Structures are given as structure tokens and as C-alpha cells.
Amino acid sequence: MSPDTTPPEGEFTKLIDEQLELAAAKIPALVPTAVHPSPADHEERRGAHANFEDVLLGNAEPSPEMLEELAALQAAPELSEEELARQALAGGGANNDAAQDLVISRLLRAPRAALWKAWADPEMLKQWWCPKPWTTEVRAFDLRPGGAFHTVMRGPDGGISDNAGSFLEVVPQARIVFTSMLTAGWRPATPWLPFTAIITMADEAGGTRYTATAIHPDPATRDRHAEMGFQQGWNICIDQLEAFAQQLR
């Protein structure tokens, strides 16, 4: 068809429709995906997901439980931007609850850049990650949101602590958030110790304010973590991190 030829009636629309179909075929459909920790859990939750999708599509009425959850969300007070910022700054960004959280905040005599370097390199991380004489094997270290973070610690008496998880947030030289409750690609996990850790670093008095906050799903898990020696063990590791980072100057 030459540029100055008028297309037959309807032919132009047909050509446009064909081009749109070709373009649409190259764009993957946006399909919501729910991932579960195991096939058994997937089967258990399948009905709930299907019911929710039917409600969204207008093919079913919401259950009483859904209506209660919606009412609770609507009744929750809306936080101002100032309040959200205040909560983000408090305790390294966690909505702190003393009954569920464990916190260590220390001024380290090492530059923030060196501390970050010791954290961001898995070969360096294993030098200080667990209290010596225990050793660390880094099986996965993908420092990005959703990336795998898997360490295995071994003691001289044969003890083993296997900890698979993932990174949730990474802000270079400022903040790392990781969890045992999700593995790579945001897949839910059922860890032996469920918690999320928030690590923050900030310049202070010629050194670095280093804050480690471990948040837990309930007070019982928080207490179990504390009884395992959280304060002593994590402080030893921070001592080792500080000493290692000082060598990187």
C-alpha cells in the first residue's frame, strides 16, 4: 500500500488491531503469585486464596472473617508522614516492642565504610560472624532485597547452627535488614528461630553508631532468643567485627 493510497473502509482499524495483538503477545501477563513454605501449606491455603480472588472479581460474597479484617483495617488510624518518619528513625526503623525485640546499640571505634566492607564481603563476614572458636560457612550471600543469605556455624564440639534466610533491605553503608522467615525470592520459611534483624550504621563521635535490633513474632520467641545468649553472643560478634574493621583502615 503506497503512502498516498486511502485504505479500504475498516482495513486501517484491522491493521491497528493486528499490531496491538502482536504487541500484547510480547508482554507477559501480570499474574499475582502466592508462594508457600511447602506443598502441604500450599494445598491448605489454596481454598482461601481462591475465595479471595472470587470476591475481588465479584463472583462471590466476602466471608464474615474478611469483613471483620476489612473493618479493622478501616478503623486503624492513618499515620501522618511525620509520624511514619519518626517511627522509621526510632530503633533503626523497627516499631519497637520491648516484649518482642532485643536491641544492642554501641559506638564502635571503626569507620562506617570499613564496617560496611566487612559486612558486604562474604569472605570477610565469615571472619567475625560467630563467636570464636566457632567457624562460619557462607553458603549463600546475595546482598540485595530478596537475595539469599545462608550461613552454617560449627562449634569445636561438633555443634551446628544452620541458618537459611534472605535480605529484605540493603542501603549501602547505612542499613541491612535480613530475616530467617523468608528464603531467596521471598519464599516463606519455617525456621527453627523466627526473627528479623535490622542493622544500622551512622557516623558518630569519630566512630560509628552500630545498632542491631532483632524483632520476633511473639514474646515467647524473643525470650527463647534471649535465653540462648543473644546479648553475650551478638556482642562478641560485634567486638570481632570492630577489630576486623579496624584492620581494614
Cβ-count burial 136-146 (b if 16+ within 10 Å, e if not): bebeebebeee
Q: What local confidence, expressed as pLDDT, does residue 97 receive? A: 77
Domain that holds residue 233: 98-246
Residue 131, exposed/middle/buried by CB under 10 A (0-12, 13-18, 19+)?
middle
Query: Looking at the structure, do residues 125 and 17 belong to the same domain, yes or no?
Result: no
Query: Looking at the structure, do residues 117 and 227 belong to the same domain, yes or no?
Result: yes
Residue 248, exposed/middle/buried by CB under 10 A (0-12, 13-18, 19+)?
middle
Task: Work out how many domains the chain is built from and give that number.
Answer: 2
Q: What local confidence, expressed as pLDDT, does residue 16 receive? A: 61
CA distance 239 to 31: 47
Per DSSP, 12 falls in state: H
Helix (H, G, I), strand (E, B) or coil at 98: coil
CATH code, 174 = 3.30.530.20
Q: What local confidence, expressed as pLDDT, does residue 153 receive? A: 98
Q: What local confidence, expressed as pLDDT, does residue 94 receive? A: 47
What are the cell numbers at 219? Answer: 514474646
Query: Looking at the structure, do residues 45 and 121 belong to the same domain, yes or no?
Result: no
Query: Looking at the structure, do residues 53 and 139 belong to the same domain, yes or no?
Result: no
Q: What local confidence, expressed as pLDDT, does residue 63 receive? A: 73
**Does residue 62 form part of some domain?**
yes
The answer to pTM > 0.75 is no
Query: Looking at the structure, do residues 105 and 198 belong to the same domain, yes or no?
Result: yes
What are the cell numbers at 122? Answer: 562474604
Could you report the average pLDDT of every consecutive run of 10 residues in the chain (249 residues)? Answer: 52 63 54 62 59 60 70 64 46 63 97 97 98 98 97 97 97 97 96 97 97 97 97 98 94
CA distance 48 to 39: 15
Query: Looking at the structure, do residues 227 and 109 belong to the same domain, yes or no?
Result: yes
**Does residue 29 form part of some domain?**
yes
Q: Are 142 and 167 in contact (CB under 8 A)?
A: yes
Q: What local confidence, expressed as pLDDT, does residue 3 receive? A: 46
DSSP of 41-84 = HHHHHHHHHHHHHHHHTTSSPPPHHHHHHHHHHHHSPPPPHHHH
Query: Looking at the structure, do residues 123 and 222 belong to the same domain, yes or no?
Result: yes
* Helix or strand run (H / E) with residue 201: strand 196-204
Q: What local confidence, expressed as pLDDT, does residue 2 receive? A: 45
On the question of a cis peptide bond just before residue 133, with omega within 30 degrees of 0, the verdict is: yes
